[in-house]
Amino acid sequence: MSTTHGIRTVGVCGAGTMGAGIAQACAAAGFSVVLYDAFPEVLPKAMARIEQDTERQVRRGRLREEQRAEALKRLQTTSELTSLARCDLVVEAAPEDLALKKDLFGKLSAAAPSAILATNTSSLSVAEIASATPKPALVAGLHFFNPAPVMPLVEVVQAPQTEPEVIGRLVEFTRDLGKTPIVVRDSPGFVVNRVNRPFYSEALRLVGEGQVDYQTVDRAAREAGGFPMGPFQLMDLVGIDVSYAVSLSLYQAFFGEARFRPHPLQRQMVLQGRLGRKTGRGFYDYQQPPPEPEPLPLPRPHPGPYAVAGDTQLARDIFERLWQRGFEVTQLTSPPEGPLPVAAIFEAEAEDRTRKRSFLTALDRWTGEDAVLLAACTNASSAECASWVRRPGRLAGYATLPPLQDRKLLEWTSHELARADPTPYLAALGLPLLRVGDAPGGVFPRLLAAVVNEAALAVDERIASPTDVDLAMRLGVNHPFGPFQWAERVGVQALAGVLDGLRDYYGEERYRAAPGLRRACWLGRWPQR
């Protein structure tokens, strides 16, 4: 195989889940592969897995039989480190243990002194691993995703001491594997594991606080957000122990930064041995067929008339939708100054909390006793909104983000003083209703705002470019949009609104908006790196 990167023979060190997958991907792409494991008994099992997996690919028409036979011929296994001497690149996929990896890298650099050494670590410092070798300039990270033969993304990790030429060669090599490389700086969790952390941690918090159950979180993530899987389904798939270990490692690596604090629920699940699909039980029980999710209620809508209050994209979307659905509806882009004869009002100042408050107080003043106030609870809880009006009993909340056409359900919420049933009014939007807890941002807006904020922080810290972060999140965890694309779609101000609401509600720094996100709110564009 002729290459510009000069890599022909690849050593893979560690023949477990990732090592076997990486070896298979390299062999299938035409590289000679030496698969090494310190425990010889592991090797036949790894080969059997590769044989079965490639056989399945042939059955599914993704690989021809001759290609499979050729690929298997290119694969050799060994339990002798010296067999790696002829490799141009060694990818290490041994257990996630710093001392073990450092020891191994010392030995690898002696066994293959001129080879590029790449670690597949998910969360350890590449620079620290490299420090165990005499030539740290030749050490980088190559972070594959599971299952390695299938997942298209590879994070190519540049540590401070890595020679830029090494990164260039690894990028080319990754492309030759048929994968998409993104170059990331050596920083805890790189891009995907870091930026996706809040997807889990906010979900765990919502459940831990008793606001909602995990099925509700998953449903909101899927049907309101369009994520292919909810956070609890994803934790079950990845393994709750694996996800917990990554949380712990990031938390330690960021010196106890609150955003990365693991949740006691994760530990509890691990202690019970409920690790997810691999043990038959995690948050869900896989020994039994999953019950069909109950259909969500969509009550008969109240005939109106309605008003929509606010000068935001959300307000414009709600107005449009009510109007298209044939309801009489008035649009208010500033607080009313005279009587408003309506049955219900959607307050949609989902961005600025000061404007929200002046809207709600004016609406409370100028509407009849029976008019129902539906507050956008993206940037405030319904309890806080209720505290701003004289008749809190008629106020309830809903939490969503524009564009409304992307949503397949509407999250709604209420508080201790509520008397009116808001559901016939909310039903005017024609979306099935899902009740969630009463903290700002409900479920989907909160998950998304936290993910986008983490992406913005990573870009602020120059871990990767916004374009690469978008690519990484789409290819690495199948998000329907990258965080920056998503921010563009829903409006960065709406996301800042969620974060500001959460920060006020909890009084916690973890919801502080990233400087880059704040600047994007003011200037309409993300800082360019």
Instruction: Specify whether the backbone of 61 is left (phi greater than 0), alpha (psi in -120 to 50) or beta.
Output: left
Q: Is there a catalytic annotation at residue 122?
A: yes
Q: Which is nearer to ligand NAD, 43 or 417 (CB)?
A: 43
- Work out whether strand 180-185 and strand 75-78 pair parallel, antiparallel, or are unpaired: unpaired
What minimum distance in Å lies between the beta carbon of 320 and ligand NAD? 44
What minimum distance in Å lies between the beta carbon of 124 and ligand NAD? 7
Burial of 232 (0-12, 13-18, 19+ CB in 10 A): buried
Instruction: Specify whether the backbone of 107 is left (phi greater than 0), alpha (psi in -120 to 50) or beta.
Output: alpha
Q: Which is nearer to ligand NAD, 194 or 219 (CB)?
A: 194
The alpha helices in 186-330, defined as continuous H runs, are 192-195, 197-208, 214-219, 231-238, 240-253, 264-271, 313-324
Burial of 452 (0-12, 13-18, 19+ CB in 10 A): buried
> Looking at 1, 6, 39, 264, which residue binds ligand NAD (CB under 6 A)?
39
Q: What are phi and psi of 114, to 5 degrees?
A: -105, 5
What string marks each residue from 16 to 35 as x (binds ligand NAD by CB under 6 A) or -?
xxxx----------------
Window of 87-95, 284-292, 379-387, 464-472 that interacts with ligand NAD by CB under 6 A: 87-95
Q: Is there a catalytic annotation at residue 155?
A: yes
> Looking at 12, 13, 395, 487, which residue binds ligand NAD (CB under 6 A)?
13
Q: Which is nearer to ligand NAD, 235 or 348 (CB)?
A: 235
440 contacts ligand NAD (rule: CB under 6 A) = no
* Distance (Å, whole) CA 187 – CA 158: 9
Q: Distance of alpha carbon 189 from its chain centroid, rounded?
A: 12
Q: Which is nearer to ligand NAD, 275 or 322 (CB)?
A: 275
Six token digits for residue 97: 């243990």
* Distance (Å, whole) CA 350 – CA 371: 20
Q: Is there a catalytic annotation at residue 128?
A: no
What string marks each residue from 275 to 314 as x (binds ligand NAD by CB under 6 A) or -?
----------------------------------------
Catalytic residue among 32, 122, 249, 382: 122
Closest residue by beta carbon to ligand NAD: 16
- Work out whether strand 139-144 and strand 116-119 pair parallel, antiparallel, or are unpaired: parallel
Segment 124 to 153, residues that bind ligand NAD, using CB under 6 A = 144-146
Q: Which is nearer to ligand NAD, 101 or 357 (CB)?
A: 101
Q: Which is nearer to ligand NAD, 92 or 438 (CB)?
A: 92
What minimum distance in Å lies between the beta carbon of 130 and ligand NAD? 15
What minimum distance in Å lies between the beta carbon of 93 and ligand NAD? 4
Catalytic residue among 155, 202, 384, 454: 155
Burial profile 373-387: b = 16 or more Cβ within 10 angstroms, e = fewer: bbbbbbbbbbbbbbe
Catalytic residue among 193, 243, 381, 414: 193
Window of 11-19, 293-301, 487-495, 515-523 that interacts with ligand NAD by CB under 6 A: 11-19
What minimum distance in Å lies between the beta carbon of 296 and ligand NAD? 33
Q: Distance of alpha carbon 61 from its chain centroid, rounded?
A: 31
Window of 14-22, 207-215, 217-225, 276-284 that interacts with ligand NAD by CB under 6 A: 14-22
Return the SS3 of 91: strand
What string marks each residue from 91 to 130 as x (binds ligand NAD by CB under 6 A) or -?
--xxxx---x---x---------------xxx--------
Segment 386 to 415, residues that bind ligand NAD, using CB under 6 A = none
- Work out whether strand 153-158 and strand 139-144 pair parallel, antiparallel, or are unpaired: antiparallel
Q: Which is nearer to ligand NAD, 39 or 522 (CB)?
A: 39
* Distance (Å, whole) CA 195 – CA 175: 24
Q: Which is nearer to ligand NAD, 145 or 199 (CB)?
A: 145
Q: Which is nearer to ligand NAD, 146 or 215 (CB)?
A: 146
> Looking at 11, 14, 225, 491, which residue binds ligand NAD (CB under 6 A)?
14
DSSP 8-state code for residue 122: S
Give, in degrees to the nearest 5, the angle at Cα 422 between 487 and 444.
Answer: 25
Q: Which is nearer to ligand NAD, 242 or 429 (CB)?
A: 242
What minimum distance in Å lies between the beta carbon of 21 and ligand NAD? 8
Return the SS3 of 119: strand
Q: Is there a catalytic annotation at residue 193?
A: yes
CA distances from 41 to 22, 91, 103, 164, 528 (A): 19, 20, 21, 38, 51
Give, in degrees to the nearest 5, the angle at Cα 255 between 249 and 257.
Answer: 90
Q: Contacts with ligand NAD: how many residues (CB under 6 A)?
A: 23
Catalytic residue among 32, 125, 143, 414: 143
Which positions ≥6 away from 167 have C-beta within 8 Å? 140, 156, 158, 183
* Distance (Å, whole) CA 404 – CA 454: 24
What string marks each residue from 468 to 507 as x (binds ligand NAD by CB under 6 A) or -?
----------------------------------------
Six token digits for residue 105: 């890298």
CA torsion 229→454→150→246, rounded to 10°?
-90
Q: Which residues are catalytic?
A: 122, 143, 155, 193
Binding site for ligand NAD (CB under 6 A): 13-19, 37-39, 42, 93-96, 100, 104, 120-122, 144-146
